[in-house]
Amino acid sequence: MLQILLFLQVALTPALAWIPVEDWGSGNVNASLGESGQCLCHVYLPDTTFPVDRVQHMQQVSKDLILEVEIQMDKMVSYEAKLDVYLKELADLTVRVAMLESDSDKYIKLDFELLRIELREFEFLVSQLKDSLNSSSPMFDSLFTEIHNMTLIVNQLESYDKSNLDVIRIEFAKLQKKLEECQKDQEFIKPEIGNCNHTGIMSISKPTVVQLNAHLNAGYQYGGWGKDSKPLRGYESMYFYGAYSSPSVHDFYLYSNYEKLIQRSAFKHHDITYGWEGTGNNYIVHGNTIYYQHGTPLSMTKLNLTSSKYDYRVIPAVSEQFSYSYSDNQHMDFAADENGLWVMYASIASKGKIVLAKIDEKSFGIEHEWNTGVYKKLAGNAFMACGVMYATRSVDVNTEEIYYAFNTKTGEEKHLNIKFNKFQDRYTNLDYNPTDKKLYMYNNGYYVSYNVGFNKE
């Protein structure tokens, strides 16, 4: 069987695909016989330069488009999840609006709840006044009785009747005036902001349990709340809150004042930009900027709440082996006090003991560091007040203890025994605020606060 081999000799092979066969023309095709009897076919194509550079460009554009499509698809998945949450919240709001439309006086329930909270704060204030004066008098007993009676009246008259609420407000104003007169008569002077004329913390008040978090979900165990420790003018009353079901930082809320916090009515909701999400729970707001832990390697990161500008600084010494006893991933703990901004962490070099570092707010760098004697894994949390680091630990399910203090001015260490009550066993955020001399704790999904008593001697 005679096999005829056909060889096509093409000068510019890629160009062939661009020209239809019917357009080749007979003058461009010649046939001849080779030395071994093979049939050779010669095809001559027009001298057209193939646009290789444009094809390569198109290939790169195609890759970029595919990558962009994947990113957008990921965003769509994220938006879909958020949409489900928003739809659920919208359904809840629809129910609440329907209730308000059916009875416009039902909003009064919130006012009664605010009254209860303020009465509890009055009770703690009277207790603090009594302790500070080391005194027990009929006047204090009378105030306690009036506060107790007011609480009973609030409970009894919670019928959502506006006239009843007006009566309560009048009585409440009288009680408030009495308390102010009592403070004035006993020369009770409220501590000035930034005043560190004392020898350290002497006592912690009973906890003020404000309420469950704004998500109304006890499953949001990781997070924090509180006030700006160096507020801008006009934002002195602002509160922040952010909480999650895992140790992370991906969004948070701002409230113009305490009442708006209780009402869960935020004036701003910040979503942390993709790629800038944080981990851990020990974040704070200081100077209209949120400071939190982020990334691998671990870095201290900040977000300006006005400009929405991010920045970060890596601290190479931070070790992921050491966290507080109540939660994983709390490798960097931010704090603020009368002296400025701080960060606490543990390293391999420090053998797991807390290293205290002062942050330069302008350069966003570390000014100075101190090695403390606190093994981080044994501590529940730590905070700063007047240049002194205080560490806490659990005594039992209901009791926490400040057991250690380190003074950055003198380098002196002290072992303390300052016990205070916890609302629930575990908490993930504890910070002192120099503007109101309070401790803010995020305790198993609840807002909790404490008044701090300093030793004036």
Report if residue 82 sits inside a domain: no
Q: Which pLDDT belongs to residue 5?
A: 39
Q: What is the 3-state secondary structure (H, E, C) of 145-197?
A: HHHHHHHHHHHHCCCCCHHHHHHHHHHHHHHHHHHHHHHHHCCCCCCCCCCCC
- Radius of gyration over every alpha carbon of the chain, rounded to an integer in angstroms: 34
Q: Which class for 442: exposed (0-12), middle (13-18), buried (19 or more C-beta within 10 A)?
A: buried
Report if residue 219 sits inside a domain: yes
Is the entire prediction scored with pTM above 0.95? no
Report if residue 72 sits inside a domain: no
135/220 same-domain check: no
Give the closest residue to 210 by CA, choosing from 226, 231, 221, 223.
226
DSSP reduced 3-state for 55: helix
Phi, psi of 27 (to 5 degrees): -70, -10
Report if residue 442 sits inside a domain: yes
363/415 same-domain check: yes
Report if residue 322 sits inside a domain: yes
How many separate domains does the chain show?
A: 3
Q: Which pLDDT belongs to residue 385?
A: 96
Within 10 angstroms of residue 452's Cβ, the number of other Cβ atoms is 22
Within 10 angstroms of residue 147's Cβ, the number of other Cβ atoms is 17
Report if residue 98 sits inside a domain: no
Boundary residue ending a domain (117, 150, 185): 185
298/419 same-domain check: yes
In contact, 347 and 388? CB cutoff 8 Å: no
Each as own residue / partner, the long-range contacts of residues 387-391 (CB below 8 Å, 24 or more positions apart, any chain) are 387/196, 387/337, 387/338, 387/339, 388/200, 388/201, 389/335, 389/342, 389/344, 389/354, 389/356, 390/201, 390/416, 391/354
**Which 8-state DSSP code applies to residue 105?**
G
Ramachandran region, residue 440 (left: φ > 0; alpha: ψ -120 to 50; beta: rest): beta
382/436 same-domain check: yes
Boundary residue ending a domain (185, 215, 235): 185
150/216 same-domain check: no
221/360 same-domain check: yes
119/262 same-domain check: no
Residue length, the chain?
A: 457
133/262 same-domain check: no
Give the distance, in angstroms, between the CA of residue 449 and the centroid of all CA atoms in the same chain.
17
CA dihedral sign, ordered 252, 258, 263, 268: negative
Alpha-helical (H) ranges within 220-358 are 258-263
Tokens 């003074």 correspond to what residue? 407
428/354 same-domain check: yes
In contact, 254 and 266? CB cutoff 8 Å: yes
DSSP reduced 3-state for 211: strand
In contact, 394 and 381? CB cutoff 8 Å: no
Q: How far is it, in rounded angstroms, from Cα 393 to Cα 345?
A: 16
In contact, 250 and 271? CB cutoff 8 Å: yes
Give the closest residue to 188 by CA, choosing from 451, 394, 379.
451
Q: Which pLDDT belongs to residue 14?
A: 43
List, in sequence order, every residue forming a beta bridge with 443; answer none if it has no partner. 446
The whole-number mean pLDDT for each consecutive block of 10 residues of the chain, a chain of 457 residues, reads: 39 44 55 71 60 73 77 67 57 54 51 64 61 55 68 62 59 61 46 73 90 86 92 91 87 91 90 89 91 90 91 93 89 94 96 96 94 94 96 93 96 94 87 94 91 86
Q: How far is it, in rounded angstroms, from Cα 428 to Cα 445?
A: 9
Q: Which pLDDT belongs to residue 192?
A: 45
Structural domain of 178: 105-185
The verdict on whether omega for the bond into residue 297 sits within 30 degrees of 0, i.e. cis, is yes
Within 10 angstroms of residue 214's Cβ, the number of other Cβ atoms is 20
Report if residue 305 sits inside a domain: yes
169/209 same-domain check: no
**Which 8-state DSSP code applies to residue 16?**
H
Contacts of 391 (CB under 8 A, 6+ apart): 354, 372, 374, 379, 381, 382, 402, 403, 404, 405
176/287 same-domain check: no
Report if residue 92 sits inside a domain: no
Boundary residue ending a domain (133, 154, 185): 185
CATH number at 218 reads: 2.120.10
In contact, 325 and 377? CB cutoff 8 Å: yes
**Interior CA angle at 433 toward 236 and 252, to 5°?**
70
Tokens 């027009």 correspond to what residue? 46
240/310 same-domain check: yes
